[in-house]
A = this chain, B = another copy of it.
């Protein structure tokens, strides 16, 4: 992304062929600070109204207008919505339910990635579009498809079964190896022919072989990555060097890190925090942090692209005609959510969408303007945001500064989807760690372990949580060991290390590959049942919550127990083990990381609230920090629909007002601030 300042864009749908209307719209955007429009991502039929008949008149016209007013353009490839002539002629391009019912024309994203004919027709339209517009002077970037894996991220078509077999042949080479990896001796599932293998089908109790499902999930991700790469290869061939390739996410069953590395220059996120206030939510309960949960998503995005874009930033109420009803954002929330994105690393913010659509499924997915096109409070707010952008433009490219990291990897993420034991603990800890960090104002990063992850990346963090590395590999175990040896502190929770990469349990004493490294022996383990009291570990007088699951521990190999359980049948047994190794330490905790537990760990490991000497914030405000050239930019985001007070202990420079501030400062409802500290 060749962007050198915080930049504003908008998603635009030039539905009617009306050049004067387009010009009027583009000029009005520019008056309000918008410099980029995204177009064309659902326009296949406009380009190819009949199979093989291509027509570029419509977008030629539009780009003429864009050129005339000097508007920058991001162009989408239209493969998310195949034309009806395509799906009716070639129904094999459709995705299907597990029971074999095809998803038909009428919504979006109903195709499958693995149909040969869909790959051919998609390649051709991308080739045609990029050949024509690849060097158009207005176009600064291309978006591949739209929201890969959104709506559906499971695929059950016949094309998928064929591709799954290829994927497995490449991976295992022999059926024996596959039978081993899938543990097919259990329940007599042994395969004797590749043709006997399918993507998951309808089975009894909806319980397909779990190792098959794990590989199937990897296959879905692989399919999406291949589909993106197919398009990216075509684009890169045809477009100019300074033009970026991106796509927008972020959806499940997809290794976004791999896809971004393979196919994109930058990753973009579609940020809709207003879901937190949707009609079926309970936003009066603050425990879920409402729209602050999006800070967690943005941290995930940052792990993919340290500096990223927001392709769709919420600008109005959301809702399809059939679901997802939500109130309008309140005055100030559009600004708040924009600044939330920037605080977390976004340098490009494109609002969804210019004008609210008057037809189809998304009539309630509001844009900046209403159906009538009238000036309104949201356009006014966008205009004011553009002034903020001007005031903070220097921070483009600044990196988010985290005080600790949380390790994730796709194997464990996907295993936790199919394994209810794994899911229960993962859910609690992922939420708990995020909440603990948020509420103590301790910035955190996610760090993904994959084949590209190296020690240097880990060493940026004095402390790493890897809450439940159920699946662990030798490489990853070694990397973690090196990290600790070099002085890092590694915290893991219950259920670590008992599975291998196939998702099978290892026939070793738990925590398997993490056993020596953590000096921990798991002698027994159990869910904390619904009939049991809440579980706690006494850590030198502090009662640490150990919810959901408990590993009962014993120290081995020079490690020592730091705390013991205070209830259930394992009262008095160890629940926390510390081991020193090289310059660092490991902590094996027998439970999950709830918010309270996380707060204890942050405190005991001395990384909690790193800016407490500079600024004090109430819980309702988020603190975010970006840094560039030794300058720290401190974001304060008031997520409360009420006034909040912060306390600045040493003078800070307010970038909006260009004035120094100290002492008690009031923030109005939803107000944001960006302060500068020089080193």
Contact = CB atoms under 8 A, between A and B. Distances in A.
A530 B281 contact: yes
B371 A507 contact: yes
Contact of A506 (B182, B371, B510): B371
Contact of A376 (B44, B97, B102, B524): B524
A506 B43 contact: no
A377 interface: yes
Contacts of A360: 183-184, 186-187, 189, 209-211
A363 interface: yes
Contacts of A280: 530
A31 interface: no
Copies of chain A in the complex: 3
A594 to B, nearest CB: 17
Report whether over half of chain A's contact residues are helix, strand or loop; otherwise say mixed.
Answer: loop
A91 to B, nearest CB: 11
A196 B106 contact: no
Given A102-B202, A372-B509, A507-B371, A529 B283 contact: yes
A557 interface: no
Contacts of A49: 190, 192
Contacts of A323: 205, 207, 420
Interface in A500-514: 502, 504-510
A56 interface: no
Interface stretch (A81-89, A249-257, A427-435): A81-89
Contacts of A509: 372, 374
A543 interface: no
Contact of A418 (B321, B330, B525, B532): B321
Interface in A190-232: 190-193, 195-196, 198, 200-212
Interface residues of A, number: 121
A3 interface: no
Interface string A97-132: 101111111111110000000000000000000000
A85 B193 contact: yes
A317 B524 CA distance: 11
Nearest to A500: B358
Contact of A202 (B104, B206, B330, B358): B104
A167 to B, nearest CB: 18
Contact of A107 (B107, B204, B325, B363): B204
A164 interface: no
Contacts of A362: 186-187
A290 to B, nearest CB: 8
A135 B358 CA distance: 56
Nearest to A323: B420
A472 to B, nearest CB: 14
Contacts of A419: 321-322
A97 B202 contact: yes
A78 B190 CA distance: 14
A523 interface: yes
A576 B374 CA distance: 22
Interface string A483-502: 00000000000000010001
Interface in A353-395: 356-364, 370-374, 376-377
A421 B283 CA distance: 19
Contacts of A320: 205, 207, 420
Contacts of A211: 359-360
B84 A196 contact: yes
A319 interface: yes
Nearest to A200: B106
A209 B49 CA distance: 20
A505 B282 contact: no
B420 A321 contact: yes
A195 B85 CA distance: 10
A284 B534 CA distance: 13
A90 interface: no
Given A88-B196, A192-B84, A569-B331, A359 B207 contact: no
Nearest to A85: B192
A172 to B, nearest CB: 15
A83 B190 contact: yes
Given A371-B507, A372-B509, A50 B279 contact: no
A20 interface: no
Contact of A359 (B102, B183, B530): B183
Interface in A565-609: 568-569
A327 B532 contact: yes
Contacts of A505: 356, 358-359, 363, 371
A525 B328 contact: yes
Contacts of A331: 569
Contacts of A44: 188
Given A82-B188, A376-B524, 18 more contacts: A84-B189, A84-B190, A104-B202, A107-B187, A107-B203, A109-B204, A110-B204, A184-B360, A205-B320, A205-B322, A210-B360, A279-B527, A281-B530, A283-B531, A325-B420, A328-B525, A358-B505, A371-B510
The 8 closest A-B pairs by CB, nearest first: A183-B359, A186-B360, A283-B531, A328-B526, A327-B529, A81-B188, A106-B203, A327-B527
30 contacts: A42-B187, A43-B188, A45-B192, A82-B188, A83-B188, A83-B190, A85-B193, A99-B99, A103-B202, A103-B203, A104-B202, A105-B203, A106-B200, A106-B203, A106-B207, A108-B204, A110-B204, A152-B204, A186-B362, A187-B360, A205-B320, A206-B322, A210-B361, A280-B530, A321-B420, A325-B424, A327-B527, A356-B505, A372-B508, A376-B524
